[in-house]
C-alpha cells in the first residue's frame, strides 16, 4: 500500500479495504450484409466498411501509409492436421460437438475451415484477438489466390471484409457475441472456437448463449473446439459424448537451457548463434526496456539481429513484419499475443519471463493491471513456438512448470462486466439469468455482479426496474458504458442548445477507446492545441491537428501513429452506428461547444470526482476521491495539462509494478482529467450517484468551497414594548 504522507492523509488512505465493447451491426447471414457489397479495401486489416485510404490521403498522414509487407505463403506441404482430414469430416457430420487437440503449428486454424468447405459447409472461426483474426483470414485468402473478402472474410470491432460469396468467415469472439444477441447466425453454419484454453470472457458468454438457446428448444449450430492445451477434464464433463481427435505432430527436441545473466544477453547470444528468438514479456513497458537493453548489448554478428517488438498497440504493418524472414537473424520481444493462432516461422529459441499481465477489479470496481505468473497451459503454448522445423531451445526466467497452476483463472471472473450487463439488459436478460448457463468454473459471484450493476446505477443507465431509457440508447452504441452515455448526452445537449457537439463527442470517445493518442509527456505538446479545461479535449484537439498538420512534427512530440489510426477506425465505427455520415470535415470547437462537452464528460464520470490535496516529494499531484470509498490517486505532472486543478473528474486505474527484487507495488493513477469549474460544481452535485447524496458538498474542504453570497436580512423590531423592567430584550425580575 502506497504511503502519501502522515496524519489525515494516512487515515483517509486506510479506509479503503484491500482487495472490453464491440457492438456490431445487425447482420443476417449467409455472413453478409448490405454494407458488405462495397468494394474491398486495399488494406486487408481495414477491410470493406473501414477503407480509410482516401481519408488518410486527404489528411496527409504519410506515417499511416506504409506499404504492407505481406508474408510469402509457405510451400504447400501436408500439414499434420491433414492426416486427420477424413476423421474430422466424419466427426462433424455425425456429432454436434467435436474437440480437436493439436499442437501449435499443426495447421488446425487454417485447414479445418477448408475441410468444412470441402463438405459444402459454411464456417465461422472465432479467435480472441483482432490481429490473429485478420492475419489468418488474409493467409487463407492468399492460399486461394483471391482477394480477402470473397470466399474468405473476417470481422472484428474495427473493420471487416466479406461479400455474398463468403463461406469461410473469421471473427473475434467479442464481435460474434454482439451479433448473436441481436441477430443469431443460421443454424447450418459451423462455429469453430479456436484457442479455447485462453478462457476468455466472450468465449464463456458464447457457450452460455448456446446452452440457453438449446434449453429453450432452439436449433443451434454445430461446434468445433480447438486448442493445443485444452482442459480435457472440463470438456469431458461438459460434452460426455463428443469425440476428441488428437493430432500427432512430429516435433524436434526442445532443450531447456540454464538462464544467463539477463534476458537481453541470452536473446542476443542465441539470435547470433542459433537463429531467430522470441522473448515473452509482461506488457509494453517491459518490451520497451528490453528493446533498449538489446540496442546496447554488444554482438559480433554483422549485421546485428533485427529487433521487432510485437504487441497490440503497434501498427498492423509492424506486427506483420515479425512474420517475415530476413537475411539477418531477428529478436521478437512480445506479449502473450504471440503465443496463439499466429505462427512465426524459423524460430530457434524462446525466452520466457514467466510473467503475464492480467486485468482484475479491486473492491471499488476499478481495473487493476496485475503481474502474475503464467500457467502450465501458457508455458506449453509459449515454449511450443520452437521445435517445429528444427531443434529448439527454451530459456526460462520464471518458475519451473511443475510449480505453476494448470490453467489461469477465467477472464469472466476478474474482468469488468458493466458493458456486458448493459447489452444483456437491452435484450431483456441479466447477468443472473446468464449465470445459470455458465460452466462450473465460470460462475459470476454476487460481489462481481453487484459491481457491474452499481456502476450502471451510478451512470443512471440502470434503475430499480431494470435498464433505463438512457441505458437503452447507450446499449446500441459500440462503446463502453461511460462513453456510450457521453455520446447519448452529447446528442441530447446538441438538440437542447442548438449547437452540434455530437461529432466532437464521437472524436472524444474514439480517443478514449484507443487509450489516448499521446505516448510521451503531454506537457511537451501543450503549445500545439488548446485544452479547454480538459485532458480529453486537449487530446481531441491534438487528434485534429494530427489530421491536418505535418505529422512528423507531432510524432516527435509524442503522438502515436498507431493510436491515431485506431482512433480513426473507432471514429468511423461509431459514426456509422449512430447514423452519421462519414464526413471528413473537422467540426470547430468554441467556448460554448467546450462547455457543453465538459458537461457531458462530468455527467459520464460523476462518480469519479477528486479533490486536490497536495504535491508529493516526486512533484506529482495527489487527489482524494469525493466519494465515500476509494483510493487516493497520483497524477503525474508531465502526463497532464490539467494537473493542479482543485476539483476534477477522471478515469481511475491501478497498475502493479515489480522491482528487481520481485516486490510488487500498486500505483493508483488517473487519466483523461477534466477540470470542474465553480459553475459546474452544482451540476456535479445534481448528477452524482444517489448513494453519494450530499457527500460531495460535505467532502470538499472550506478552502475549495465557493464563497457563499452575502445575504441581506431585513431589520426586525422587537415586538415587546421597551419598558423599564425590560433590559436587552430580557425580562427583569422584580
Q: What is the pLDDT of residues 61-107, one digit of tens each?
A: 333 333 334 444 444 457 888 888 999 999 999 999 999 988 877 88
Per-residue burial over 306-333, b = 16 or more CB atoms within 10 Å of its CB, e = otherwise: bbbbbbebbbbbbbbbbbeeeeebbbbb
Boundary of a domain, candidates 218, 246, 274: 246
Other CB atoms within 10 Å distance of the CB of residue 414: 17
Total structural domains in the chain? 3
pLDDT of residue 518 exceeding 90, the answer is: no
- Does residue 258 share a domain with residue 239? no
Does some domain include residue 199?
yes
Of 228, 273, 269, the C-alpha closest to 251 is 228
Which has the closest alpha carbon to 672: 536, 520, 544?
A: 536
Output the average pLDDT for the chain: 80
d(CA 590, CA 108): 55
Please check whether residues 210 and 140 belong to one and the same domain. yes
Same domain flag for 336 and 366: yes
Per-residue confidence at 705, pLDDT binned at 50, 70, 90?
A: low
> Are the C-beta atoms of 207 and 435 separated by less than 8 Å?
no
Say if residue 106 is in the same domain as residue 207: yes
Answer with the residue of higher pLDDT: 128 or 31. 128
* CATH code of the domain containing 186: 3.40.50.300
461 and 354 belong to one structural domain: no
The reply to whether 311 and 178 lie within a common domain is: no
Q: Give the pLDDT of residue 10.
A: 37
Q: Which one of 380, 412, 444 terminates a domain?
A: 412
Assigned domain for 53 exists: yes
Domain stops at, among 246, 279, 305: 246
- % residues pLDDT > 90 (the chain): 34
* 28-31 CB contacts, 8 Å cutoff, 24+ apart: 28/183, 29/122, 29/185, 29/186, 29/189, 30/122, 30/164, 30/166, 30/167, 30/186, 30/189, 31/122, 31/124, 31/153, 31/162, 31/166, 31/167, 31/169, 31/185, 31/189
Whole-number Cα distances in Å, 16 to 33, 456, 608, 626, 628: 50, 22, 15, 13, 10
Q: What are phi and psi of 30, to 5 degrees?
A: -75, 95
Range of the domain at 206: 34-246
241 and 260 together in one domain: no
- pLDDT higher than threshold 60 for residue 660: yes
| Residue 456 lies inside a defined structural domain of this protein | yes
The pLDDT of residue 26: 31
Q: What is the mean pLDDT of residues 42-55?
A: 33
pLDDT attached to residue 60:
38
Residue with cell 470491432: 157
Q: For 411-506, list the strands marked E by DSSP.
A: 462-463, 466-467
pLDDT at 68: 38
Whether residues 141 and 185 fall in one domain: yes
Contact present, 359 and 367 (Cβ < 8 Å): yes
Task: Write down the pLDDT at residue 29.
Answer: 30
Percentage, residues of the chain above pLDDT 70: 82
pTM, 2 dp? 0.80
Same domain for 277 and 235, yes or no, is no
Q: Is residue 621 part of a domain?
A: no
Model pLDDT for residues 96-129, shown as the tens digit of each residue: 999 998 887 788 888 999 999 999 999 999 998 8
Is 104 a domain residue?
A: yes
Q: Are residues 292 and 402 in the same domain?
A: yes
Task: Say whether the peptide bond before residue 303 is cis (omega within 30 degrees of 0).
Answer: yes
- At residue 551 the predicted structure's pLDDT band, cuts being 50, 70 and 90, is low
Q: Which of helix, strand or coil describes residue 81? A: helix
| Residues in a beta bridge with 359 | 369
Confidence of residue 34 (pLDDT cuts 50, 70, 90): very low
Neighbours of 14 (CB within 10 A): 9
Q: Is 60 exposed, middle or buried (0-12, 13-18, 19+ CB in 10 A)?
A: middle
Higher pLDDT, 25 or 669: 669
- Residue 404's pLDDT is what? 92
Predicted confidence at residue 719, as pLDDT, reads 56
How far apart CA 427 and CA 420 sit, in angstroms, is 11
Q: C-alpha cell of 69? A: 509487407
Q: Is the pLDDT of residue 646 over 80?
A: yes
Q: Is residue 567 part of a domain?
A: no
More confident call, 389 vs 192: 192
User: How many residues make up the chain in this entry?
Assistant: 734
Closest CA to 394 of 353, 436, 429, 349: 349
The verdict on 303 and 157 lying in the same domain is no
687 in a structural domain: no
Burial class (CB in 10 A: 0-12, 13-18, 19+), 182: middle
Is it the case that residue 169 has pLDDT exceeding 50? Answer: yes
Band of the pLDDT at 335, cuts 50, 70, 90? confident
* Residues 233 and 367 placed together within one structural domain of the fold: no
Report residue 548's pLDDT band, with 50, 70 and 90 as the boundaries.
Answer: confident
Residue closest to 676 by CA, chosen among 649, 703, 643, 706: 649
**What confidence category does residue 283 fall into, taking pLDDT thresholds of 50, 70 and 90?**
confident
Q: Which of 176-185, 322-331, 473-482 has the highest mean pLDDT?
A: 473-482
What angle separates helix 263-273 from helix 284-296, to the nearest 10 degrees? 60
Is 3 within a domain? no
Amino acid at each position: 500500500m502506497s504511503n502519501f504522507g502522515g496524519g489525515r492523509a494516512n487515515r483517509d488512505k486506510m479506509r479503503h479495504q484491500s482487495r472490453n465493447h464491440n457492438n456490431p451491426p445487425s447482420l443476417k447471414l449467409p455472413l453478409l450484409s448490405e454494407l458488405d457489397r462495397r468494394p474491398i479495401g486495399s488494406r486487408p486489416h481495414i477491410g470493406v466498411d473501414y477503407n480509410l485510404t482516401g481519408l488518410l490521403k486527404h489528411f496527409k498522414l504519410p506515417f499511416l501509409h506504409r506499404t504492407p509487407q505481406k508474408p510469402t505463403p509457405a510451400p504447400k506441404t501436408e500439414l499434420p492436421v491433414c492426416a486427420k482430414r477424413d476423421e474430422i469430416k466424419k466427426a462433424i457430420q455425425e456429432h454436434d460437438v467435436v474437440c480437436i487437440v493439436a499442437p501449435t503449428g499443426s495447421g488446425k486454424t487454417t485447414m479445418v475451415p477448408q475441410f468444412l468447405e470441402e463438405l459444402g459447409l459454411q464456417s465461422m472461426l472465432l479467435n480472441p484477438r483482432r490481429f490473429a483474426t485478420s492475419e489468418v483470414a488474409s493467409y487463407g485468402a492468399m492460399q486461394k489466390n483471391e482477394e480477402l473478402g470473397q470466399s474468405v472474410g473476417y470481422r472484428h470491432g474495427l473493420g471487416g471484409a466479406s461479400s455474398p460469396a463468403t463461406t469461410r468467415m473469421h471473427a473475434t469472439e467479442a464481435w460474434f457475441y454482439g451479433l448473436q444477441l441481436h441477430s443469431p447466425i443460421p443454424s447450418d453454419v459451423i462455429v469453430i472456437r479456436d484457442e479455447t484454453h485462453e478462457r476468455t470472457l466472450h468465449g464463456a458468454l458464447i457457450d452460455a448463449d448456446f446452452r440457453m438457446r438449446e434449453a429453450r428448444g432452439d436449433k443451434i449450430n454445430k461446434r468445433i473446439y480447438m486448442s493445443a492445451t485444452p482442459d480435457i477434464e472440463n470438456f469431458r464433463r461438459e460434452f460426455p459424448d463428443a469425440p476428441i481427435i488428437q493430432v500427432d505432430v512430429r516435433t524436434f527436441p526442445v532443450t531447456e537451457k540454464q538462464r544467463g545473466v539477463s534476458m537481453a544477453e541470452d536473446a542476443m547470444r542465441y539470435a547470433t548463434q542459433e537463429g531467430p528468438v522470441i522473448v515473452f514479456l509482461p506488457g509494453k513497458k517491459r518490451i520497451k526496456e528490453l528493446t533498449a537493453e538489446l540496442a546496447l548489448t554488444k554482438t559480433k554478428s554483422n549485421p546485428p539481429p533485427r529487433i521487432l517488438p510485437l504487441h497490440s498497440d503497434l501498427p498492423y504493418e509492424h506486427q506483420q513484419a515479425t512474420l517475415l524472414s530476413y537475411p539477418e537473424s531477428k529478436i521478437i520481444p512480445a506479449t502473450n499475443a504471440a503465443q496463439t493462432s499466429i505462427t512465426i516461422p524459423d524460430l530457434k529459441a524462446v525466452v520466457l519471463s514467466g510473467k503475464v499481465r492480467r486485468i482484475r477489479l479491486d473492491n471499488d470496481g476499478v481495473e487493476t493491471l496485475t503481474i502474475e505468473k503464467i500457467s502450465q497451459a501458457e508455458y506449453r503454448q509459449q515454449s511450443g513456438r520452437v521445435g517445429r522445423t528444427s531443434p529448439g531451445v527454451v530459456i526460462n526466467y520464471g518458475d519451473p512448470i511443475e510449480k505453476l497452476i494448470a490453467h489461469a483463472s477465467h477472464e469472466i471472473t476478474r474482468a469488468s462486466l458493466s458493458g456486458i450487463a448493459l447489452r444483456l439488459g437491452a435484450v431483456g436478460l441479466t447477468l443472473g439469468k446468464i449465470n445459470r448457463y455458465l460452466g462450473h468454473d465460470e460462475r459470476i459471484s454476487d460481489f462481481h455482479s453487484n459491481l457491474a450493476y452499481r456502476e450502471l446505477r451510478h451512470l443512471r443507465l440502470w434503475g430499480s426496474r431494470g435498464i433505463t431509457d438512457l441505458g437503452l440508447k447507450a446499449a446500441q452504441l459500440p462503446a463502453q458504458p461511460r462513453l456510450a452515455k457521453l455520446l447519448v448526452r452529447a446528442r441530447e445537449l446538441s438538440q437542447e442548445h442548438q449547437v452540434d457537439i455530437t461529432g466532437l463527442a464521437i472524436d472524444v470517445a474514439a480517443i478514449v477507446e484507443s487509450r489516448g493518442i499521446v505516448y510521451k509527456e503531454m506537457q511537451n505538446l501543450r503549445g500545439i492545441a488548446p485544452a479547454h479545461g480538459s485532458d480529453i479535449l486537449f487530446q481531441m484537439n491534438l487528434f485534429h491537428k494530427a489530421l491536418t498538420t505535418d505529422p512528423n512534427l507531432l510524432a516527435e512530440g509524442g503522438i502515436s501513429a498507431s493510436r491515431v489510426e485506431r482512433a480513426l477506425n473507432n471514429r468511423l465505427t461509431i459514426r456509422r452506428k449512430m447514423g452519421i455520415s462519414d464526413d471528413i470535415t473537422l467540426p470547430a470547437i468554441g467556448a460554448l461547444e467546450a462547455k457543453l462537452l465538459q458537461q457531458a464528460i462530468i455527467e459520464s464520470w460523476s462518480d469519479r470526482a477528486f479533490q486536490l490535496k497536495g504535491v508529493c516529494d516526486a512533484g506529482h499531484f495527489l487527489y482524494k476521491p469525493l466519494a465515500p470509498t476509494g483510493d487516493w490517486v497520483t497524477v503525474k505532472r508531465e502526463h497532464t495539462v490539467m494537473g493542479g486543478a482543485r476539483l476534477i473528474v477522471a478515469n481511475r486505474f491501478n497498475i502493479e509494478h515489480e522491482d528487481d527484487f520481485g516486490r510488487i507495488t500498486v500505483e493508483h493513477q488517473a487519466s483523461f482529467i477534466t477540470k470542474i469549474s465553480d459553475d459546474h460544481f452544482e451540476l456535479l452535485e445534481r448528477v452524482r450517484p444517489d448513494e453519494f447524496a450530499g457527500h460531495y458538498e460535505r467532502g470538499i474542504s472550506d478552502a475549495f468551497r465557493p464563497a457563499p453570497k452575502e445575504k441581506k436580512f431585513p431589520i426586525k423590531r422587537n415586538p415587546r414594548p421597551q419598558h423599564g423592567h425590560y433590559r436587552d430584550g430580557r425580562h427583569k425580575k422584580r
